[in-house]
């Protein structure tokens, strides 16, 4: 199994390396560090070409130095490679490199600033969250300083909409590979049930409880009898309140699916996932949507 870590010489890049290391240890995976640089511009003359060559050499040298610094942050027990990719679009460059190298997950950090522990999405990360065909793992701000060395538990936000089976499959396979507990959560935001919906609050909670139990029953049929898995509902007036009502610990990771607006086999971060991202200070893995029974990427046999 391989994780592609998107690196740039910022605090967000260090957070991505730390999360990549934590996931690699947990999933027994190798890391590929990747820096994306722009292609050389077209020269119109010999003098301009000379300047471009000098700039290109300097950029290559800087990118390699960044990769060397990133590699020095990774423990010796994790197999690591490094790549300089060239693309005018950094997000597209990361996707192309991930597909080329057969990466199962792209790991990214946030932009600078913001509150320690919260997620801050820059333009490249935001682009990835609306286009990647590969799961994307997001590190909160400061994860390189306070993040856990291994994943403790995987929390999966289960939904009712079509296309969530890939999320379900991916979560199960990740849990099996990592030998970590899985907690499946059905969210109920009462303010979103009313006033435009006709479903009473009590019925919404009852439906969520039934859905959580049926999802758990299905998971139990696919997992070994002694595998640690549980299900629960999280209730609140808002999504943020509901998800904050749950108990969270160091080393927890949350996994969410994509919006129904997502193109087939592509990530599209929906409104619910965005609200969860704003409310929590733990890593999040976003799984692409699908229009078919596509096998999950986090295969324990990889």
> In this predicted structure, which of 18-27, 78-87, 143-152, 189-198 has the lowest mean pLDDT?
189-198
Task: In whole angstroms, give the CA distance from residue 286 to residue 80.
Answer: 23
pLDDT of residue 258: 84
The CATH code for residues 2-146 is 3.40.50.620
Task: In whole angstroms, give the CA distance from residue 245 to residue 229.
Answer: 19
Task: In whole angstroms, give the CA distance from residue 155 to residue 152.
Answer: 10
Domain ranges for the chain, please list them: 2-146, 153-286
pLDDT (tens digit, 9 = 90+) per residue, 174-227? 999 999 999 999 888 776 655 445 555 677 677 777 877 887 888 888 888 889
The residues, any chain, with a CB within 8 Å of residue 287's CB and separated by 6 or more, are 135, 166, 167, 170, 255, 256, 257, 258, 267, 296
CATH topology of domain 153-286: Rossmann fold (3.40.50)
DSSP state of 111: -
Distance of alpha carbon 261 from the chain centroid: 18
């Amino acid at each position: 199994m391989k994780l592609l870590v998107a690196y740039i010489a910022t605090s967000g890049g260090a957070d991505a390396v730390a999360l990549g290391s934590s996931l690699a240890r947990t999933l027994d995976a190798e890391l590929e560090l990747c820096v994306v640089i722009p292609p050389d511009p077209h020269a119109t003359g010999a003098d301009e070409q000379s300047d471009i060559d000098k700039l290109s050499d300097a950029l290559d040298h800087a990118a390699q130095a960044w990769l060397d610094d990133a590699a020095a942050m990774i423990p010796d027990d994790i197999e690591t490679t490094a790549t300089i990719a060239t693309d005018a679009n950094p997000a597209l460059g990361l996707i192309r490199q991930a597909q080329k190298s057969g990466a199962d997950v792209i790991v990214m950090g946030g932009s600078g600033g913001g509150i320690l522990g919260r997620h801050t999405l820059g333009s490249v990360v935001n682009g990835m969250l609306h286009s990647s065909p590969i799961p994307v793992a997001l590190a909160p701000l400061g994860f390189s300083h306070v993040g856990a060395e291994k994943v403790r538990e995987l929390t999966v936000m289960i939904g009712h909409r079509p296309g969530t089976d890939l999320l379900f499959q991916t979560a199960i396979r990740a849990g099996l590979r990592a030998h970590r507990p899985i907690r499946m959560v059905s969210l109920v935001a009462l303010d979103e049930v009313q006033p435009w919906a006709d479903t009473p609050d009590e019925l919404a909670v009852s439906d969520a409880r039934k859905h959580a139990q049926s999802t758990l029953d299905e998971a139990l049929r696919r997992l070994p009898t002694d595998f640690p898995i549980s299900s629960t509902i999280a209730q609140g007036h808002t999504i943020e309140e509901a998800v904050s009502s749950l108990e969270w610990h160091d080393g927890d990771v949350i996994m969410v699916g994509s919006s129904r607006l997502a193109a087939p086999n592509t990530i599209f971060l929906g409104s619910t996932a965005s609200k969860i991202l704003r409310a929590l200070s733990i890593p999040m893995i976003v799984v692409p949507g699908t229009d078919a029974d596509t096998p999950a990427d986090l295969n324990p046999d990889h």
